[in-house]
Amino acid sequence: MGMRGGRDFGREIQVDLGAMRKYLGIALIVFVAVIVLFSGSFIVEPGHRGVLVTMGKVSPHFAPEGFGLKAPLITTVIPVAVRQQAKSMRAECYSSDLQQVNVELRILYRIPEAAVVKIYQEFAGDPFDTLIVPRVNEAIKEVTALQSAETIVKKREEIKTKALAAARQKVGAVLAIEDIVIQNISLSKELEAAIEAKMVQEQEAAKAKFVQQKAEIEANTAVIRAKGEAQAIEIRGRALRDSPALIQLQIVEKWDGKAPLVVGGGGGGGSNILLPIGDLKR
């Protein structure tokens, strides 16, 4: 009786262990399936493209943004940004008059979609330090070397335009440089003071020239006005001499319709006063 009970208990333990192994096996299979499922899919964020690397080999085709599938465990997806980016840099240059000029720049650039794989292979996905900075630095130095320090300060927009064109030519089609913004141009304190003093003198000279030109214009205007008035007087005088009746005509035109009354002197030689009749009636 005791031996039979022991055998039954042993069978129950074996059944329980078998069921446990079965459940553990199923759980392990599900776990592995989940890992394989997740490792075989990927998501590329907006504004990026995915570079697929399988056991050290880069795929020639990039993955677009969104959900995608890949070889589980052996393929890695590297995101590369294709949206516009902006980074700052500093360039130390020399002007044509051998003055040191420090230029702070803000570079706006974008990786073309067709160059995503090439950029990752050759520049590890971030071409700013290894591609953009050396080319822009070279371009800005070439442009500033042809201008004086004063011209660089005064015509920074022209310097920016020429540097942008030169940088685009040096970089080529592998990368798109959208714009270059010159944030600051700094010179030595002595040179800055000299340029500022010269600019003040130029402004004062321009102001004095403007005042002089204004006075000349006013004087010429007065002369022209005087000549015009003299000519008008001369013309009126000549007209009166040639046509005495013109005086009577002007008197008639200006008469207000009231008959004048002569008051005074009679034959005593006193002066006569002309009064309108209307005034006597009042």
Cα→Cα distances 74→40, 46, 54, 57, 242, Å: 9, 24, 6, 11, 117
Taking phi first (over 0 means left), then psi (-120 to 50 degrees means alpha), and beta for anything else, what does residue 98 get? Answer: left
- The reported pLDDT for the residue numbered 2 is 46
- The reported pLDDT for the residue numbered 279 is 47
- The reported pLDDT for the residue numbered 280 is 43
What does the DSSP 8-state code read for residue 272? E
Q: Within a 10 A sphere around the Cβ of 165, how many other Cβ atoms?
A: 14
Task: List the chain pLDDT tens, one digit each, 282 residues.
Answer: 444 555 554 555 555 666 677 777 777 777 666 666 667 788 999 999 999 999 889 999 999 999 888 888 788 899 999 999 999 999 999 888 888 889 999 999 999 999 999 999 888 767 899 899 999 999 999 999 999 888 888 898 999 999 999 999 999 888 999 999 999 988 877 666 665 666 655 566 666 676 777 777 877 787 787 777 777 777 766 766 666 665 666 665 665 666 555 555 555 555 554 445 454 444
Burial of 75 (0-12, 13-18, 19+ CB in 10 A): middle
The SS3 of residue 174 is helix
What does the DSSP 8-state code read for residue 276? E
pTM as predicted: 0.58
Helices (H) then strands (E): counts for the chain: 8, 10
Closest to 146 (Cα-Cα) out of 161, 159, 135: 159
- The reported pLDDT for the residue numbered 230 is 73
What does the DSSP 8-state code read for residue 56? T
Contact 60, 117 (CB under 8 A): yes
Structural domains in the chain, CATH included, are: 2-81 (no CATH), 85-187 (3.30.479.30)
What does the DSSP 8-state code read for residue 115? G
